[in-house]
Structure 1
Amino acid sequence: MKLYSIETELFKLDGGAMFGVVPKTIWNKLNQADENNLCTWAMRCLLIEDGNKLILVDNGIGNKQSEKFFSHYYLHGDHTLEKSLSEKGFGKDDITDVILTHLHFDHCGGSIDRVGGKLVPAFKNATYWSNQEHWNWAVYPNDREKASFLKENILPIKESGRLKFIETVNNESEESLGENTFSENISIRFVNGHTQQMMLPQIKYKGNTIVYVADLLPSVHHIPMPYIMGYDMFPLTTLQEKKSFLTEALNNDYILFFEHDPKNECCTLKQTEKGIREDVVFKLHAL
């Protein structure tokens, strides 16, 4: 097995929305905002080469939306999904599976391309993986979250016949995290604070356990308990899930892989007087 960090575009989001109840006087020292109160964030994907499978976890924002849509997010940086795959020696057609942590546009927008006026799968040889509960949540969205679920990113996946669902696991308590097996080396965790049944891939790799933490922990700076995004549908659920997961991760020496942190790819954890915090921060290729 080999793992590759796949960088796509950087984008900007409102700092207050990203850090929730934490005051700007504090979070602005961690990720400095511009004159519009916007901070820079990554859309980092994970590529897993596992036997005859080439699995991509999330795929960024894509490129098929309107100029007006993209103007809200200030895409920038030197990377694209295609360029990053090429640098690792792969192309879109090599991908066999796409695991979508959830269906917000910045995580699944690259799933579908617009070709000759038609919406078609960007990974023509891949199976796309979601789960039934989250799929229903995205296709019939609530009024608060529907702006993040764009039908052109979602419905063509099912129409292509390439959509499959991972079976979800009911948590035994609010403090526990359900988990299901995807393959010999990959299991899927389920969390519900950010959005219904978001999936977090957990990978056995070189004697380590790596968890792609998606929007449970967007960055290293979201490890402290109060740092919960304003975007989360159920922030108290996120709080419970963070406590449970971070305790488990600390006790079992998990490595966290960050999707949105613009600078930090991975970290280990340590216990401090203030609670669990990042310990060693490093690039994935250092493993």
Structure 2
Amino acid sequence: MTNSKTTYASVLYEGTFSVGLDKKFVRIDRDDPPAKGALKLSLNPFLIHTPDRNYLFDCGIGEFGEDTGPETIRRNLEQHGLTEFDVTDIFLSHLHYDHIGGLAHREDGYWELTFPEAKIWVSKKGWEKVTAMDKYYDGEKTEFISFIDAKADLHFLSEEDQPYPDMTVKKIGGHTEFHQVLLFDDGEQKYMQAGDVIGTKGSINRKYAAKYDFEPKVSQQMREELARKAFDEGFTIMSYHEDRNPLYKLTGYDEKTGYSTENVDSYEPA
């Protein structure tokens, strides 16, 4: 593990994808438009390194996209002097496979944990709902979720919980029934990751109720409340699906134009 005493956050960018109604993640360039009728989604797991722990906020798509696999996040961690064994804790905003698929892989032909030493922090009710399903998307992903349920070091979160002094989670719902906001606050640095409720920077100043959300109106309400919290309390927002600048702060507010933003650099080791 890196011996850095500095707390920092970094973006572990996995790629940009065109995602249609078939839910297949087809890799495209960051600057390319998605296919007709498809969404453009970038995937950004976040690393928060502290002197004591290495947190991941969501962990990517794993093998479930085009030209994807655990080698990407390993390579990104290596840039910080870390390996997959150095990840101590993974906090999951929700249980869609583009956010949790990185938990396991089959590089050797059978399921293995990608982060063998990590505690996996997940909504208790959300996990119960997923594991009670007859099918999690399809047969392959159902095998994946069963493996995680049996082999991972799972730790279940209440609707509002504080597993560490610098980590708080709270159920916000909206995009999924048991969606969570992940909040890091060590007294000096503050980070907020709200999964797909604030999936992109542009969503901050858009008033919309997305049809793909579990409860569109709740998602819209929570997006507004969390933006106000980030602005009032100085949180850096982490937007998992943002193409270019997924780390940013809200620096001002105008009733007509909404929030102004300032990009925050992802920590890159010298």
In 2, distance between residues paired with 1:278 and 1:37? 30
State the partner residue of 1:25.
none
Alignment pair present for 1:241 and 2:247: no
Which one of 239, 242, 256 corresponds to residue 274 of structure 1? 256
Please show how residues 1-287 of structure 1 align to structure 2 within 5 Å: 1-14=7-20, 33-63=33-63, 65=64, 70=65, 80-141=72-133, 146=137, 150-169=141-160, 180-204=161-185, 207-269=188-250, 270-274=252-256, 276-285=258-267
Are the aligned partners of 1:129 and 1:163 in contact in 2 as well (CA < 8 Å)? yes
Are the aligned partners of 2:113 and 2:152 in contact in 1 as well (CA < 8 Å)? no
Are the aligned partners of 1:137 and 1:196 in contact in 2 as well (CA < 8 Å)? no
**Deviations 1:62-96, CA, capped at 9 Å, x for gaps:** 12x4xxxx4xxx558xx921111111111111112
Instruction: State the 1:14 CA deviation.
Output: 4.5
Instruction: State the 1:133 CA deviation.
Output: 0.7
Letter in 1 for 2:178: Q
**Deviations 1:182-238, CA, capped at 9 Å, x for gaps:** 211121122110012222221125724210122111101111343443321110111
**Deviations 1:83-115, CA, capped at 9 Å, x for gaps:** 111111111111122212111110011101115
Stretches of 4+ aligned residues off by more than 6 angstroms: none
**Deviations 1:96-146, CA, capped at 9 Å, x for gaps:** 222121111100111011154322211111121112111122223599x95
- Normalized against structure 2, the TM-score is what? 0.81
Are the aligned partners of 1:85 and 1:92 in contact in 2 as well (CA < 8 Å)? yes
Letter in 1 for 2:129: W
State the partner residue of 1:172.
none
Aligned length: 250
**Structure 2 vs 1, CA of residues 34 and 48 (structure 1 numbering), >3 Å: closer, same or farther?**
closer
Are the aligned partners of 2:169 and 2:181 in contact in 1 as well (CA < 8 Å)? yes
Instruction: State the 1:259 CA deviation.
Output: 0.8
Structure 1 unaligned spans of 5+:
18-30, 170-179
Structure 2 unaligned spans of 5+:
1-6, 24-30
* SS of equivalent to 2:116: coil
State the partner residue of 1:177.
none
In 2, distance between residues paired with 1:142 and 1:260? 29
Instruction: State the 1:36 CA deviation.
Output: 2.5
**Structure 2 vs 1, CA of residues 32 and 114 (structure 1 numbering), >3 Å: closer, same or farther?**
closer
* SS of equivalent to 1:164: strand
Are the aligned partners of 2:182 and 2:193 in contact in 1 as well (CA < 8 Å)? yes
In 2, distance between residues paired with 1:233 and 1:182? 27
**Structure 2 vs 1, CA of residues 120 and 276 (structure 1 numbering), >3 Å: closer, same or farther?**
same
**Deviations 1:23-51, CA, capped at 9 Å, x for gaps:** xxxxxxxx873452435322111112233
In 1, distance between residues paired with 2:34 and 2:107? 35
* SS of equivalent to 1:233: coil
Instruction: State the 1:251 CA deviation.
Output: 2.0
Are the aligned partners of 2:103 and 2:114 in contact in 1 as well (CA < 8 Å)? yes
In 2, distance between residues paired with 1:272 and 1:13? 34
In 1, distance between residues paired with 2:202 and 2:141? 28
